[in-house]
Structure 1
Amino acid sequence: MLSRAVVIVSVLLAAVLAGHGLLPPLGGATTILESVLPWLGWLVPILLVVALISRSVPAIVAALVPGVVWAAMFGPTALASSPGGQADLRVGTVNVGVVNNSSGLAVKTVAANLDVLAAQELTPGGPAAKQLNAMFDREPATSSTVGLWSRFPIVSWKGIDPGLGWKRGLRAVLRTPKGEVTVYVVHLGSARPGHTEQRDRSLATLRKLIDADTSKRILVLGDLNTATTDRGLSGLTPPLLNAQTEAGDGFGFTWPSSFPVTRPDHILYRGMTAVSAGVAPAMGSDHRAAIAGLRI
């Protein structure tokens, strides 16, 4: 009986890993599943131990199947390392937390070594904005609860509505020594079980904005409320590349900060090359920051 249970669970686990993209939305449950998909790999050693206890060869073989599937899907990411090289643009994005008196400390620990930092859940005139204004000499671009600070001139910017009914996003143009870069800073709709419509609509809106933008270089920074393994992100990658996927060290989970299990915070781009990507602590925030180095 024990060996039979191992075989059944192993087959189901392998099927979910390999075929998660075929699952229906299930009221948003599939989104949550896909957000933590890499963590399903921890079930493999548990199944293997139970199979060994049962002393059943078929159960042991069955327990190895989802392990092989997981390794094929996530092994390259788990073992990846940054290619390295000189970066012309060091960027980051962090959700500082809408109710967070420590948001100034959060951005201070992140922004020190960056050329550009995007922030979400800002309070106008709050600790994060004050700290960043002190660290960056140039005038920032801000729209509602998102903002962009840059050591390079922001030559133009405007607030944008990422499909939420209000301008929780912005589009800015930076003038760097290597040429102009168009930057989108967005905080997309939340994705919770049974409530993904707003997030899905904002993903579609952002894709339309990118498709209509003829800029040679585009950078998207923000909390997209969409994990790297969530099918929703495939609507943006392509046409954009994901810095963590292209040049990151491991999975780059950013939320929750105390023990990150997923990555809703992203750095997407086109017209440039990612040479490094990773995660930085943002003391006081419930998110860690996503950071990357780009060559223009």
Structure 2
Amino acid sequence: MTRVDEAESGRDDASSRDAGAGTGRARIRRAIRAASRPGPWKRGRPIAALALLLGLLMLLHAKIPNRIGNVGSLVETFLPWFGLFIPVLLIGALWRRSASAVVALLVPAVVWLNLFGGLLGDRSHPGGDLTVAEHNVGAGNSDPVGTARDLAASGADVLALVELTEQARGTYEDALSEAYPYHAVQGTVGLWSKLPLSDTQPVDIKMDAGPLAATQPVDIRMGYTRALRTTVSTDQGPLAVYVAHLGSVRVNPRAGFSTAHRDRNAQALGEAIAAEQNERVVLLGDLNGTTDDRAFADITSRLRSAHDAAGDRFGFTWPAEFPMVRIDQILVRGVEPTSSWVLPATGSDHLPVAARISW
């Protein structure tokens, strides 16, 4: 071997040693990084914390105070939708490969299923003696004739309409007269029935008609009447029926979830129902709130939701284009709901609701 060959061989050996050393150092760095990387139980701790907070929020929603912006009522209004955060957090947990976050997500999942799992399926069963329906027909409804026709075709024996305007009232009376020989209207709410009505009277739910309301004539003040009580005569005996349209709510940055008028109406309506002597009671109306909202405790403690007992899934009714909450309610006492459903859209921004009840 020549000196040149020996030199080249030495350079090759040195290069091999350098390459081996570089590979070794790379392996050491990878091992250090692997050792310093948190394990699956330590990764994703922020996601795990958010999951636990979500579970506590849903579990303790009744403890959220209403003192600032009625936050508690706002949360309870949209409470079912908080379940959408669970799959979002699950995607984050899987991306982070966090075992702790996945386990933590069991808390909100179990809480949500406990609260709303029973509403996922169809709870109706055959039977029933009377079909009742309710619809906020909408003051801006451009097709009251079509709305009345659709409601009459629903087959309801008793039909409650709210947000009746003076201009549209005659249209509904004419369009529904053939299917419903009996009807009663008080202010902006009315009841149409295939069965005789009696003892119809307005219900004072403390509507705020302005500072001059008390001095105005009775026929003008009637425009502010948004609740009535009547008796429906059935073969099984009298049925007390209430129709109500509670005050609207607003969400704005300054006042938060503004519900003062509605809450006052709900309390007054609860007092009227508490004084009701008839054992069989049905409340039909747009309450501008869900039965999960604590504001309706005086009502829901005495009446139960027909849809919760015998409905199909959540039964959201507003807005009609993309329903997000169920604010149109059928609540009962002394009768048994056998089925409850949401009717097809009309010209209103609300969807109609119906229920079949049994004695």
Q: TM-score, normalised by structure 2?
A: 0.78
In 2, Cα distance between equivalents of 1:108 and 1:282: 12
Report what 1:168 is aligned to: 226
**In the alignment, is the contact (CA less than 8 A) between 1:106 and 1:283 conserved in 2?**
yes
1:247 equivalenced with 2:310 (yes/no): yes
1:123 equivalenced with 2:174 (yes/no): no
In 2, Cα distance between equivalents of 1:242 and 1:74: 14
Tell me how far 1:4 sits from its aligned partner. Answer: 2.4
Report what 2:61 is aligned to: 20
Report what 1:31 is aligned to: 73
Alignment partner for residue 101 of structure 2, among 59, 66, 82?
59
In 2, Cα distance between equivalents of 1:198 and 1:242: 22
| Letter of the 1:54 counterpart | R
**In the alignment, is the contact (CA less than 8 A) between 1:102 and 1:284 conserved in 2?**
yes
Report what 1:79 is aligned to: 121
Deviations 1:221-249 (A, max 9, x none): 10011212212223212211211111111
Report what 1:271 is aligned to: 334
Structure 2 residue matching 1:135: 3-state secondary structure: coil
Question: Which sits farther off after the overlay, 224-233 or 199-208?
Answer: 224-233
Alignment partner for residue 180 of structure 1, among 225, 234, 238?
238
Structure number with greater CO (CA < 8 Å, separation at least 6) is 1
- Structure with greater helix percent: 2
Report what 2:82 is aligned to: 40
User: Which of structures 1 and 2 has the bigger CA Rg?
Assistant: 2
Alignment partner for residue 159 of structure 1, among 186, 202, 206?
202
Question: Which sits farther off after the overlay, 243-252 or 186-195?
Answer: 186-195
Q: Where do 5+ consecutive residues of structure 1 fail to align?
A: none
Tell me how far 1:134 sits from its aligned partner. Answer: 4.3
Alignment partner for residue 177 of structure 2, among 103, 111, 133?
133
Residues 204, 54 of structure 1: alpha-carbon distance in 2 compared, 3 angstrom cutoff: same
In 1, Cα distance between equivalents of 2:184 and 2:301: 27
1:6 equivalenced with 2:47 (yes/no): yes
Aligned residues between the structures: 294
Q: Calculate the aligned-residue CA RMSD, in Å.
A: 1.7
| Letter of the 1:96 counterpart | V
1:50 equivalenced with 2:108 (yes/no): no
| Letter of the 2:129 counterpart | D
Tell me how far 1:80 sits from its aligned partner. Answer: 4.2
Tell me how far 1:286 sits from its aligned partner. Answer: 0.7
Deviations 1:5-38 (A, max 9, x none): 2112111111111111000113123322211110
In 1, Cα distance between equivalents of 2:176 and 2:129: 21
Tell me how far 1:125 sits from its aligned partner. Answer: 4.6
Q: TM-score, normalised by structure 1?
A: 0.94
**In the alignment, is the contact (CA less than 8 A) between 1:249 and 1:278 conserved in 2?**
yes
**In the alignment, is the contact (CA less than 8 A) between 1:223 and 1:265 conserved in 2?**
yes
Alignment partner for residue 248 of structure 2, among 187, 190, 195?
190
Q: Where do 5+ consecutive residues of structure 2 fail to align?
A: 1-41, 209-223
**In the alignment, is the contact (CA less than 8 A) between 2:226 and 2:245 conserved in 1?**
yes
Over 3 Å off, 4+ runs: 127-130
Question: Which sits farther off after the overlay, 226-235 or 269-278?
Answer: 226-235
**In the alignment, is the contact (CA less than 8 A) between 2:64 and 2:71 conserved in 1?**
no
Structure 2 residue matching 1:236: 3-state secondary structure: helix
Report what 1:207 is aligned to: 270
Report what 2:6 is aligned to: none
Deviations 1:253-284 (A, max 9, x none): 11111111111111111111111111112311
| Letter of the 1:6 counterpart | I
| Letter of the 1:279 counterpart | V
Report what 1:281 is aligned to: 344
In 1, Cα distance between equivalents of 2:76 and 2:289: 10
**In the alignment, is the contact (CA less than 8 A) between 2:132 and 2:354 conserved in 1?**
yes
Tell me how far 1:214 sits from its aligned partner. Answer: 0.5
In 2, Cα distance between equivalents of 1:238 and 1:247: 18
Question: Which sits farther off after the overlay, 113-122 or 60-69?
Answer: 60-69
In 1, Cα distance between equivalents of 2:313 and 2:136: 21
Structure 1 residue matching 2:200: 3-state secondary structure: strand
**In the alignment, is the contact (CA less than 8 A) between 2:291 and 2:300 conserved in 1?**
no
Tell me how far 1:163 sits from its aligned partner. Answer: 1.6
Tell me how far 1:64 sits from its aligned partner. Answer: 2.8
In 1, Cα distance between equivalents of 2:316 and 2:107: 26
| Letter of the 2:195 counterpart | F
